[in-house]
Amino acid sequence: DLGSRDIIADKAADVENVLKVKANQIGFNETNFSVITADGKFYSFVVSYNESPVALALNLVGDQVNLKARTQPLGGTDAQAG
């Protein structure tokens, strides 16, 4: 369930357990979206636009949400995510 038309989501091709979510509009206002997984778990997220997001992926495993962080900013300078 998407909270607005400012973000779009679709299942990744050839993969059963990957959902791609991206901005449909630059600079959109804060909104929300919900995900129900195949095992019936419900996740709700509040999102806002960020030109250089720290998080590029979330891994929903068990009862935890693990963040996969960017290790190099878009500008090309090395940085370690913590």
Among the listed residues 21, 57, 16, the one whose alpha carbon sits nearest the alpha carbon of residue 38: 16
Q: Write the DSSP symbol of residue 2.
A: B
Q: What is the pLDDT of residue 82?
A: 39
Q: Provide the whole-model pTM.
A: 0.69
pLDDT tens string 10-22 = 988 888 888 889 9
Q: Please, which residues have CB within 8 angstroms of residue 2's CB and are 6 or more apart in sequence? A: 8, 9, 31, 33
| Token pair 């998407």: residue | 2
- Single-letter amino acid, residue 33: F
- Tell me how far apart the alpha carbons of residues 4 and 12 are, in angstroms, rounded to a whole number: 20
Q: What is the pLDDT of residue 3?
A: 67
Q: Residue 44 corresponds to which tokens in the numbers above?
A: 């709700």
pLDDT tens string 23-73 = 999 999 999 989 888 888 888 989 999 988 888 888 887 777 777 765 555
| Average pLDDT for 70-81 | 49
Which segments of the chain does DSSP mark as H helices, in order? none
